[in-house]
Structure 1
């Protein structure tokens, strides 16, 4: 009886999910056939082309001494132009990060290190609001105004053409998002590797479809740019609600919320996929968590912030397309439950198989409808694995594409544990618990070669 009920529950939701994903696949294939997924090439000259206006790049940094220096040094080399400023947010009780940032900045006037008045960690959004306040103060003091604001993290490795690409796109829209490319880590092919599978498909298919449909785009918090006026409007709105700036301090995923909020306010958004003249994707590169527990913690924060807090804070505004995309964004806890049910079924089937070998003859009657649903689930599973392997292989090579198939088990296990933890954490906040900056520890940076080995290895040396 338990086997039958669990099978019915899991099969129903898997079939519903299969229909949802197949529609996305169909739209992407239509875009592909009509040439709308084309990735234009950006010439090398774009690396030094003057921007349309001065840009501010905001980087919050708490406990980032291992990577912030590499990030600053690489960014200054990759973007040699002068009309931009890198704002790095540090804390007085984190002297190691401050020292690393100062050493990398040296005497370059493009770097502005801002020390938060409060002891850290506060929240990422709070640190960003402090940087935004420093930005506004600089504008008032210097009697100028930035044209755009770009967000990055301390572990990011920017592409030399990224700033010019964002600047060009912001001439037509108010918010632009570039892809994120998790870098392979030989020491963690399974945990760190599963991020490559997820982002390769999400940022080459799902967000492309979302952009084409005109739905609100979530900001990834890295490689995203906003027009100055759009950020100012949002800041005024947030301040009227009691915030200190445009970033929501009560949200665990303030970047995701920021992107959707500007779309809700009528701003135009665009997801931009293009490549440099050598064919490398113009994206933000970074090392994602390589340890299982750290990955679970990060995914917990994402599910809690996007699926649970997003329901509370953003509601269900928008047209049918936006509602559809929000349903997709918020399915994390449900899918964790469905996946847990599916794996429980595997355990039950293994136990029943042992009983049958021992002579037990009991069998559960399966209706034709349920049998059809199970068949659809099996076909859908194979279909999904083919798509994931294809997108991963396209960006990382055939070996990684093939490895993405068994890596799905790792991804599902992390999702199940993270979904449970996110639900419990959300219940604690409903009981009055505060929101903390439960950040990921970053130990390595893709450009950590110092003299440029990391860049040369990726063909991205400026």
Structure 2
């Protein structure tokens, strides 16, 4: 029968294809086996000879270096509702304070801009950047705009960032990440930490196949690459570049650091920095404090060390076509654009890893073809079992002994691949996910095949891999509590509460006292009271308002708050409410600073807004020791009252007048425009460990000149009256109001 001849010819052709695929699988399998051998050999060597002589670095050592300023760069296109979650989570979980987040938005994406504006109102260390061109451009183009804004911010703030960190808006950042970067950034130019995707429901194979691939890639492959080649590919998130690296990239690119035509600018930069001789490192640093699982529950087979490494967490796409789009972008950028841009290097070791990066262009088709062939052979075997009279064909594997050895080797290598996958997935996620990674191999092969096919079609359509446009994928973000609301202006609240009219505000702005912000100026002029200003500030930021007696704080309560913390954040301790310490401040304390205070004190904290000057006077009395007992303003006022120079409520009025007109040097510098308010906060962080007075520190850092400092100190003295001058004025007024008989007396 003709169909028998046709099928026999098909089987013969299939045998040729199977032979070619088997050979390719053998080469790839041996390649992977070599990486396995190197990894386990290196791990055994370190266990036998390194860690027996030297202990693992404890995470407490990360707290040794002072906090360097770090910049986090976040590109955002159609990321409404995500940036706020990220800023909230970072502020409440990061064990670090001296950082700023720069979010790159687009002029034609008003929803994301509005969302970022609301976040910036709550978090002074979050800054919105609007790209020059409408989106979506490439991620690299967005990052170039963000980087330019960072350098402008540096010039305005008189500060320099030591590390530049890549993150996406949906990333969940580990609490010790910035501590680790701060510890290494002075010695390394590219620092990469692992990425571990969040696990979804067990049957969501599309999302979970990312889990399998990243667990093995960042658990074994990249560490081996760093060991042998000294080169680390950036993952695009959880990457920190040194200042030297960023400035070198800008100089080499004539002002442009990231290749705008690259779909994988992170991978591209890793190769460029290596070619310039810079130091790159992949860090798997476990923070071992107590046994915990990253998902919040214990998992059988999970490794304590592996599951507590500092890493980046995020959800990856859970829909087939979304995953295909994302992976096709990776394939175009790494395989095709990477070859066009970087070609091959001189060193054989790095070339070997470049070949491993690019072999996926073939392997994805080979793996998928092998899966299809296996399905066909299974169907033929099943047909022969069910249909006993079916023609019996000679097996395509018979008659070639050497081919049997290849098949046997491939089976053994495939078994090793499954074993390695189980080990590395189980180490972080537990045995359940490790075993489920085996059936997910087939689904992963399908996704990689479709992604490779899509990448080829895009390149053919564009005619050049470097012309393929950025195809962004959407992500999910874990739900957390907290709403984002932009703060109302102080002027709006004063008018709404009837404390001042719009005309009065206009006049107050026109006649604002030099060196004071509007609210303080209105208090000094008597347009509003210190209590009204405090209530308005409290309403603006959503906390309560209280009047504080800065002279009557218990000494045991003062001992709870260290002087360095009190002076740095301009806060006073008020009382205990259970374990919570209630603090007083005259202005807004952002969530980052509030979380930092809680970590330093080791207890929950909340704060209230005190009346203007009350915290300033309290800090000078209890923490700054700016005056001795004989010159203490409250002591001098008591002497005046006991001597009869003041009567009745005049004592309280003079004290309130003195307190409400006290001004800090920082407010004057900001009001005069010598320092940006956000930049001043960053400088305060740098000043935290410096014993110099603030003014001297600012001069030494170049933030202000000596002349400006001297002028501001003179202005500060002129703005805030001394208690002695107020008493003299009070006595003079009393004398003028006295009757002739009283004057004679």
Fold similarity call, TM over 0.5: yes
* Equivalent in the alignment of 1:257: 268
Q: Matches of 1:159 and 1:433 in 2, distance apart? A: 34
Q: Is the counterpart of residue 422 in structure 1 residue 422 in structure 2?
A: no
Deviation at 1:105, TM superposition (A): 3.3
1:445 match: secondary structure: coil
Q: How does 1:87-98 map to 2 (within 5 A)?
A: 87-98=102-113
Q: Matches of 2:342 and 2:260 in 1, distance apart? A: 14
Q: Matches of 2:28 and 2:232 in 1, distance apart? A: 21
* Equivalent in the alignment of 1:380: 413
Q: Matches of 1:366 and 1:421 in 2, distance apart? A: 39
Q: Is the counterpart of residue 22 in structure 1 residue 33 in structure 2?
A: yes
* Equivalent in the alignment of 1:290: 318
Q: Is the counterpart of residue 314 in structure 1 residue 342 in structure 2?
A: yes
Whether the 8 Å CA contact 1:41–1:275 is kept in 2: the answer is no
1:266 match: secondary structure: coil
Q: Matches of 1:121 and 1:62 in 2, distance apart? A: 7
Q: Matches of 1:221 and 1:4 in 2, distance apart? A: 42
Deviation at 1:351, TM superposition (A): 4.7
Whether the 8 Å CA contact 2:138–2:260 is kept in 1: the answer is yes
* Equivalent in the alignment of 2:327: 299
Q: Matches of 1:146 and 1:6 in 2, distance apart? A: 56
Number of residue pairs the alignment of both structures matches: 447
Which residues of structure 1 form unaligned runs of 5+? 453-460
Deviation string 1:396-430 (CA, Å, 9 cap, x unpaired) is: 01111110110111111101111111112222332
Whether the 8 Å CA contact 2:67–2:98 is kept in 1: the answer is no
Q: Is the counterpart of residue 43 in structure 1 residue 59 in structure 2?
A: yes
Deviation string 1:112-142 (CA, Å, 9 cap, x unpaired) is: 1111122111110000000011011122233
Q: Matches of 1:53 and 1:173 in 2, distance apart? A: 14
Whether the 8 Å CA contact 1:215–1:325 is kept in 2: the answer is no
- From the superposition, tell whether residues 139 and 366 of structure 1 become closer, same or farther in structure 2 (CA, over 3 Å): farther
Q: How does 1:326-341 map to 2 (within 5 A)?
A: 326-341=354-369
Q: Matches of 2:88 and 2:114 in 1, distance apart? A: 14
Q: Is the counterpart of residue 440 in structure 1 residue 451 in structure 2?
A: no
Q: Is the counterpart of residue 13 in structure 1 residue 24 in structure 2?
A: yes
Q: Is the counterpart of residue 184 in structure 1 residue 216 in structure 2?
A: no
Whether the 8 Å CA contact 1:234–1:246 is kept in 2: the answer is yes
Q: How does 1:178-217 map to 2 (within 5 A)?
A: 178-186=193-201, 189-217=204-232
Q: Is the counterpart of residue 408 in structure 1 residue 441 in structure 2?
A: yes
Whether the 8 Å CA contact 1:50–1:81 is kept in 2: the answer is no
Q: Is the counterpart of residue 248 in structure 1 residue 279 in structure 2?
A: no
Q: Is the counterpart of residue 266 in structure 1 residue 283 in structure 2?
A: no
2:46 match: secondary structure: coil
- From the superposition, tell whether residues 431 and 315 of structure 1 become closer, same or farther in structure 2 (CA, over 3 Å): closer
Q: Is the counterpart of residue 143 in structure 1 residue 158 in structure 2?
A: yes
Q: TM-score, normalised by structure 1?
A: 0.91
Q: Matches of 1:147 and 1:436 in 2, distance apart? A: 32
Q: Matches of 1:141 and 1:445 in 2, distance apart? A: 33
Deviation string 1:250-274 (CA, Å, 9 cap, x unpaired) is: 1111111111111111101000001
Whether the 8 Å CA contact 2:171–2:313 is kept in 1: the answer is yes
- Of structures 1 and 2, the one with the larger relative CO (CA 8 A, separation 6+) is 1
Deviation at 1:353, TM superposition (A): 2.9
**Larger of the two Rg values belongs to structure:** 2
Aligned Cα RMSD in Å? 2.3
Whether the 8 Å CA contact 1:181–1:199 is kept in 2: the answer is yes
Whether the 8 Å CA contact 2:200–2:207 is kept in 1: the answer is yes
* Equivalent in the alignment of 1:457: none
